[in-house]
Amino acid sequence: MSPFPPIAASGMQESIQQSGASSVLRSKTGGNVKEVLLPQNVGELAVLPDESYCPICRLGVKGPRFFYGGSPLWFCDDCALYFAPREISPPGSTSKQLAEKPGSLYDELYATSAEYQSLLRQARRSDRRSRMAFCEEMFFRTFPQPLGAGRLLDVGCGPGHFLRFASERGWKVQGVEIACSAVEVARAFGLTVFHGSLEDFLEKNPAPNFDAAVAFEVLEHLEDPLGFLKLLAKAVAGKGVVAISVPNALDPFVFLDPRPEVQPPVHLQFFTRKAIHKALERAGLVPIMVRTNFLPRPTMRKVIRSRIQRAVWKIPLAFLRILGLVEGHQIVGIGKRA
């Protein structure tokens, strides 16, 4: 059952007319008719809702605001979240399958990609490990010593990079991961990793009692990120902490990234710092840190292939970042139970 209220049928778009390389979507609500120009690859869409519901605020949002990768995005003025509801994904997309079989489709979408295979190859090498990501650095800066008993749960742990870093720093670690190939790599290093979703894990471990629970680069994939955060908060005991990270919607290159694995229906939510702050609060957590890194280097590398051009961009981007006009590519949020 969907966690969102039903969308009224009277607000649905009614017809599409092909016009050259694009399509014109005609919407009729009451006596008013409006037109929206659609990209060519969504010309087969039968309907678009005039209103959708923000997965953080649960408020009705008029839209769509614009298109990314052929998929319409809504924008919530209350929490500054960009989102793509599953119910309007283009025909032939994996949206329904993603909702019904997230584990198997995560394998299909990621395990076969060259980038993911490279990550797994690197993870298998015990003599070489990728450097810590910004989100991992922020966690260890905030908590240089283990909290209490130092039990940590990493949901969406992948091949176990962060679990290994945390274990070396004294944490007693456990992971949760839905991708079979990543679970195999993590277990080969002797890590304890549950294969399945967070819901599955909590069903089998109803009183997990962790001191910290992290979910790095997970929320953007979820239809109900607020519900997931509430579950993550249940995994920690007492005054335990929750740490999350997501791609930053205010990264100037994020909506220029051409990779299908970062577009809907794979990434459904595009967060801002305001959206993360509100999500933590609505999940019953007290935000203690919400920040971004300095420059959007990873997305810039995907959009601007030339090293020379990237070098030229760095100086003006740094200046704009100091002025607060652009932000880095990743948001890290840490909250504690009230």
Q: Where are the domains of the chain?
A: 9-93, 100-337
Q: Indicate the range of 76-90, 215-229, 322-336 predicted with least confidence.
A: 76-90
Work out whether the CA dihedral 13, 16, 20, 21 comes out positive or negative: positive
What pTM, to 2 d.p., does this model score?
0.79
pLDDT band (50, 70, 90) for residue 328: very high
Give per-residue burial for 10-36: e unless 16+ CB within 10 Å, then b. Answer: ebbbeebeeeeeebebebeeeeeeeeb
Nearest residue to 249 (alpha-carbon basis) of 76, 88, 26, 90: 76
Q: How far is CA 146 from CA 118, 133, 137, 204, 328, in A?
A: 31, 19, 14, 25, 28
- pLDDT of residue 89 exceeding 50, the answer is no
Q: What is the pLDDT of residue 116?
A: 60
What tokens does 127 get? 């003599």
pLDDT band (50, 70, 90) for residue 279: very high
Q: How far is CA 265 from CA 17, 42, 94, 198, 257, in A?
A: 24, 13, 7, 20, 15
- pLDDT of residue 294 exceeding 50, the answer is yes
Nearest residue to 154 (alpha-carbon basis) of 144, 134, 139: 139
Mean pLDDT over each residue of the chain, to the nearest integer = 79
- Could you read off the pLDDT of 125-181 as tens digits, one per residue? 665 567 789 999 999 999 887 776 689 999 999 889 999 999 988 899 999 998 888
CA 237/CA 213 separation, integer angstroms:
10
- Domain 100-337 annotated CATH 3.40.50.2300: no
Nearest residue to 150 (alpha-carbon basis) of 137, 140, 161, 158: 140
Contact assessment for residue 194 and residue 213, using Cβ atoms and an 8 Å cutoff: no
Contact assessment for residue 296 and residue 328, using Cβ atoms and an 8 Å cutoff: yes
| Total residue count of the chain as it appears in this document | 338
What tokens does 260 get? 């299908």
Q: What is the pLDDT of residue 118?
A: 64
- pLDDT of residue 90 exceeding 60, the answer is no
Q: What is the pLDDT of residue 120?
A: 63
